[in-house]
Structure 1
Amino acid sequence: MAFKAINPERNFWNRFLKENNGSFLQSFEWAEIKEKDGKKVWFFKDENEKGITTAQFLLIKDSFFYNRKEFFYIPFGPVFRNDLVKKEKLSDKIVEAVKGLANEERVVFLKIEPYFSGLSFEKPMGVIKELKRIQPKRTIFLDLEKGEDELLKSFHFRTRYNIRLGKRKGIKVLRTNKEGKDFNFYLDKFYSLLLKTSRRQKFNIYSKNYYQNILTAFDQDFQSELFLAEYKKNFIAGSIVVFWNKIGFYLHSGSDYFFRNLKAPFVLLWEEILEAKKKGCLYYDLWGIDEKRYPGITYFKKNFNGEEREYPEGADIIFDRKWYYLYKILKKVK
């Protein structure tokens, strides 16, 4: 069989992902978030001779070079059936399925960043090792099946000290979602923290609407909440957490450097972990570490002493070599 573009029903699409440990970045809700952000999305699936789904992926059209050129992107996909043995046979099927659409949409290349190992592409098809990733290459997972005391004891002693210090100083944590009272007020406070953090650490952030879209994508499968640390009526740290398939994801965060001595991010993350446990999550994903690009936040996350995991290497499948060469230059400059 071959991958075909489909218009799936939400529950049907998400059920396959959840049964086969797929990422929330392949979810129906993530597709809606991207559409609200102005991106075009497509759903593809492959079936065997018996009509059973063997794999599926969400395809997103994104842009570069000041939005003048575009590329296709498969974030943490495709997702395979857990019992599928020869996954590599589907690799070239993905390219074949996307080729025609790539011509229609005039995209420069297809970027694939897999969540699972098993993909293997033929070199003559214009496949090269990926350049800079969009999603993190490495991350840290915390095991939430441990009891609360055991989990706390597993942290670095400085982390335990900072959590207790922040609480003694009077740090309070509140959480809200799209149904919460004064949601827009809290969203504004969070975005202000992101702006401060991005200026301090020199990284780009999205528009406020993008974070709002994540927080309003709330249903039985995909839940998102905003956590804020408060000190004497000042909001000094905040983060967006996504809950998906019994995993909590520490997706976006920011803090106010002026209040750094209060250790609010430590208290905040600990309260998020406890909330994830209450929701029945088995793991908490700290969502990306990189000592070279983000030394500060990586050091912070490593102090929680979780299990480090590395995702498989991705690939860029080139459709337009001239513009891809420009893309390479732009990535080297950044």
Structure 2
Amino acid sequence: MRLKLLETTDPRVYDDAVRNMPITSALQGWGYGEARRVLGQTPMRYLIADEAGRTVGALQLLRKRLVPGFSTLYAPRGPALESLDLLPAVAEAIKAVAKPTDAILKIEPPVPLPAEEGSEIPESYGPFRRAESEQPEHTILADLGRSEDELFAGLHSMARRNVRTAQKLGVVAGRDDDFDAFWEIFTATNERAKLGAYPRAYYETLLREGNAHGGEAYIVLSRHQGKALAGGFFLGMGAGTYYLFGGSVRDDRVDEAGKPLKDSKAPDAFYWNAMLDAKQRGYTLFDFWGIPRILDEEKHSFGVFKMKLKFSEQRAWYPAYDLPLNAAAPAIVKALRWRKTQNNKRKRGSAEDVL
């Protein structure tokens, strides 16, 4: 089968195609590309058409300049497709629109693979070969198609207990327009864990543009006595919503006698109410986002993993695949890995990735 990429500049037409594909992700949405533009990356959007002119997919490519004379192409959690069987033909179609300076194409097919012992991950799709992912490769998912009672019964006993405690203490969690409160939580978490972050304008753009054309970007905060203690940033499209950024802050408040307030379990309330909010708005897939590849109790990411695991035990993989586009590809891959290692050492004093 031969496919053709039809470039589009119409956000509504493009997002409609992304939203309606059975294999899709909000990171293929128009708004995500606009946020990446803030980082100096150039988004390009295409409808994928078959020989009869029928739309069988949608593709957002980000062109990222490296050194003068070279760039990479990247489809964040994409492409959106009717079937993974189309990927070999997609590769040929992308070659037809790639520039001579594009050295590598990276895709991340948005089909979660069970992270169970014995599960096999394909090493290739046609000319695409298994490679290092840019988005977190490992995640935890929750099926929101069950009833609220079934969802709650499926939580770890500690999560159920903490959610009830938060309710008794008057914690309120839900959608919130207070970006400054989210930013304070997110910044404090990043500084505490030495995670690093993009400029504030990136998140503000994603919040604005993620809502503008057919997707949904929103913030959920968990508050105790009015103070935001935990929260996160979500990007939704189609059947799925994705918890991309967030965290919590320590509650150092005291009561009238000067004693520390009882732990309000605000993070647990945040996760549970974010799941309920997504379910009530029609989402059936809740992606908790990144968890560690290798579990290490000394790393901040282990605590994050244990927290998310209390709310769902459905672990999954989103493997990535590369397609070399010119002879410089192997050297570019090595250089990018070296640069990532150096950034890790500078930010956290370790060559290891966060996840």
TM-score category of the 2 structures, normalised to the smaller one: 0.7 to 0.9
Q: Distance in 1 between matches of 2:268 and 2:308?
A: 10
The residue correspondences of 1:144-183 to structure 2 (distance < 5 A) are 144-177=144-177
Q: Is the 8 A contact 1:128 1:317 kept in 2?
A: no
The one-letter amino acid of 2:165's match is L
Change (3 A) 1:128 1:291: closer
Residue 244 of structure 2 is matched in structure 1 by: 251
2:104 corresponding residue in structure 1: 109
Q: How does 1:9-88 map to 2 (within 5 A)?
A: 9-21=10-22, 22-62=24-64, 70-82=71-83, 86-88=85-87
Question: How much has 1:198 moved relative to structure 2?
Answer: 0.9
Pairing of 1:199-214 with structure 2 (within 5 A) = 199-214=191-206
Between 1:13-22 and 1:311-320, the stretch displaced more is 311-320
Task: Say if 2:13 is the partner of 1:4.
Answer: no
2-side partners of 1:39 and 1:201: how far apart? 27
Q: How does 1:319-334 map to 2 (within 5 A)?
A: 319=326, 320=328, 321-333=330-342, 334=344
Following superposition, the deviation at residue 40 of structure 1 comes to 0.9
- What is the SS of the residue equivalent to 1:152? helix
Structure 1 counterpart of 2:234, from 238, 241, 246 = 241
Contact 1:110 1:317 in 2 (8 A): yes
Identical amino acids, percent of aligned pairs: 23
**Structure 2: how far apart are the matches of 1:278 and 1:247?**
13
* TM-score normalized with structure 2 length: 0.78
CA contact (8 A) 1:3 1:44 kept: no
8 A contact 2:222–2:231 mirrored in 1: yes
As a proportion of its length, which structure holds more helix?
Answer: 1
One-letter amino acid of the counterpart of residue 204, structure 1? G
Q: Residues 70 and 255 of structure 1: is their aligned pair in 2 closer, same or farther, counting only changes over 3 Å?
A: farther
Deviation at 1:300, TM superposition (A): 0.8
Change (3 A) 1:93 1:107: closer
CA distance in 2, matches of 1:77, 1:175: 27
Counterpart in the other structure of 2:286? 284
- Do the aligned partners of residues 40 and 313 (structure 1) sit closer, same or farther apart at CA in structure 2, a change above 3 Å counting? closer
Matched, 1:269 2:268: no
Gap runs ≥5 in structure 2? 112-121, 253-261, 345-355
For residues 171 and 61 of structure 1, the distance between their equivalents in structure 2, rounded to whole angstroms, comes to 44
Matched residue of 1:261: which SS? coil
Separation in 1, partners of 2:124, 2:21: 16
Residues 174, 277 of structure 2: 8 Å contact kept:
no
Contact 1:129 1:316 in 2 (8 A): no
Query: For 2:130 and 2:123, how far apart are their aligned partners in 1?
Result: 15
CA distance in 1, matches of 2:293, 2:52: 47
Verify the 8 A CA contact 1:139 1:289 in the aligned structure 2: yes
- The count of residues paired between Structure 1 and Structure 2 equals 314
**Secondary structure, in 3 states, of the residue corresponding to 1:46?**
strand
Task: Give the drift of 1:135.
Answer: 1.1
Deviations 1:257-289 (A, max 9, x none): 346933211101111111112212222221222
Give deviations 1:77-103, integer Å, cap 9, x for gaps: 122224x7x42431531451343x2x2
Distance 1:150 1:62, change over 3 A: same
Q: Which residue of 1 aligns with 2:321?
A: 314
SS of residue in 1 equivalent to 2:149: helix
Equivalence map 1:211-226=2 (5 Å)? 211-217=203-209, 218-219=211-212, 221-226=214-219
State the distance in 2 between where 1:112 and 1:214 align.
21
AA at the equivalent of 2:134:
I
CA 234–10 in structure 1, closer or farther in 2 if over 3 Å, else same = same
Which amino acid counterpart does residue 73 of structure 1 have in structure 2?
Y
Q: What residue identity is the alignment partner of 1:250?
A: Y
Q: Quote the Cα distance in structure 2 between the aligned partners of 1:331 and 1:130.
A: 15
In 2, Cα distance between the equivalents of 1:112 and 1:298? Answer: 25
Tell me the TM-score normalised to structure 1 length.
0.83
Alpha-carbon contact 1:44-1:57 (below 8 Å) kept: yes
Say if 2:122 is the partner of 1:120.
Answer: no
Q: Determine if contact 1:318/1:324 at 8 Å carries over to the other structure.
A: no
Greater CA drift, 253-262 or 230-239 = 253-262
Contact 2:220–2:270 (CA under 8 A) maintained in structure 1: yes
Say if 1:130 and 1:316, in contact at 8 Å, map to a contact too. no
